[in-house]
Chains A and B, each alone.
Chain A
């Protein structure tokens, strides 16, 4: 901590009303964020590869280069 403070000069800022963000504040947004992430990641990584919700290969071909670069098995 001391080193990081000296090097980065970046002090801890207390959260209002405590040292951390209360779980009740995080929970609903965690659900939303996780849901969005699963949907997004599914289309980038898996749709029309290992699974297919839609017919054809358009989604697969459209995200083709990204899928290879991000390390997801493409074809």
Chain B
């Protein structure tokens, strides 16, 4: 049964990636183009200042892959790989949690799980380390930023696990609500502590347009929301069928 759920989860992730790509094409790519324009004019300006000669904006990596490919096949591939990966993991958590974490119906449980995952993996880590468009962020710190970002995601997930354990340990009959609130406090406390301890990263150029940054981040969140909503809804529908059919012949 897990096999059927796993590949449906990956498929739901790829379907979500297709829709997310459409969304990103419409709402995020215009912001990325503007940010790249800012980056290029900025580096041309700098080159002109430093060399006091004809501005030769570094050819950089830009020519390796055309913008058209980055916006099309590249974007779709990146989101599809991400969707398949998180969709697969999502289906495994579903397989474990279904019937173990309460007795919700499969579609409700899948949607709830998708909402919780979106908050834990996208929203909460994004508060400390928000998504950044091109032209924001320095080459030298990419390793630190990558480690810190993954650390923040791991912290958010780990804190959620601890919170669930605390909640279950404290739960008394008729007092589940209180235990859930306490679990929530534990989660917020652990995440807050982690945010305090993890390094602060502020590499937004002083003259980077604030509105562009906001629009990019909103579009980025929207892209993730489309992905996770699709996973939650599509996987729930497919999981219901798998469960109705019962154990499949191997």
Contact = CB atoms under 8 A, between A and B. Distances in A.
Contact of B108 (A10, A37, A66, A72): A10
Interface SS of B by simple majority: helix
A8 B85 contact: no
Nearest to B153: A71
Contacts of A33: 6, 9-10, 88-89, 91-92
A62 B105 contact: no
A13 B134 contact: no
Given A61-B65, A62-B74, A64-B65, A10 B82 contact: no
B185 to A, nearest CB: 23
A48 B75 CA distance: 16
14 contacts: A1-B102, A12-B104, A21-B98, A30-B2, A30-B92, A33-B92, A40-B84, A41-B81, A65-B24, A68-B133, A69-B28, A69-B75, A70-B131, A74-B134
Given A5-B105, A33-B92, A58-B64, A70 B99 contact: no
Contacts of A17: 247
Contacts of A8: 105, 107-108
Contacts, number: 201
Contacts of B193: none
A53 B1 CA distance: 36
Nearest to A62: B74
Interface in A7-47: 8, 10-21, 23, 25-26, 28-30, 32-34, 36-38, 40-41, 43-46
A56 B142 CA distance: 16
B230 interface: no
A44 B96 contact: no
Given A68-B32, A71-B131, A16 B246 contact: yes
A72 B192 CA distance: 21
B106 interface: yes
A31 to B, nearest CB: 10
A38 B244 CA distance: 31
A25 B219 CA distance: 39
B82 A16 contact: no
A64 B1 CA distance: 36
Contacts of B104: 1, 4, 10, 12
A44 B82 contact: yes
A37 B6 CA distance: 11
Given A13-B240, A30-B2, A50-B143, 6 more contacts: A45-B146, A45-B150, A61-B64, A64-B65, A71-B220, A74-B142
A67 B133 CA distance: 10
Contacts of B223: 69-70
Interface string B1-28: 1110010011000000000000010001
Interface string B140-157: 011101110110000000
